[in-house]
Structure 1
């Protein structure tokens, strides 16, 4: 993933400002809060003006790919909790195998 992000950053840096960039999620995330961002001049907050780091971009991409990291962990936790408190349901679940 890091190689893909670095390669796209290089492609963006090597593309003249007057040339269009690919219209995809990775390019949009990398160019956010830079001169290539269409909303660049509309943001007043200094912290919001900082472009994202590769680590932040990687986190966003992974969240998009796996549909969020917390949701799956929470689901498994609730299932384990439910089965621990309802042994009859646990028994039925094992019987279905």
Structure 2
């Protein structure tokens, strides 16, 4: 999958996310880990990144919050499909 400046490169034991523009370049590696065992291999990068940002923002650190604001990065936890289905059932 490619988006201008972002390339997601799946592999056998890791997924690489290449982020590049004329001012910055970096490579994010996502590998199986202690907190990602519950997810299918194809969803592991999404699971790991969403979980990482959920826990990072839960630290309630002014330093982390300030750094994220300086870079214009914000994270909002969304309900899982199961939680959405349960909420819809309660509303009915």
TM-score (norm: length of structure 2): 0.30
Higher strand share: 2
Which entry has the higher C-alpha Rg, 1 or 2? 1
TM-score (norm: length of structure 1): 0.28
Higher relative contact order (CA 8 A, sep 6+): 1
Higher helix share: 1
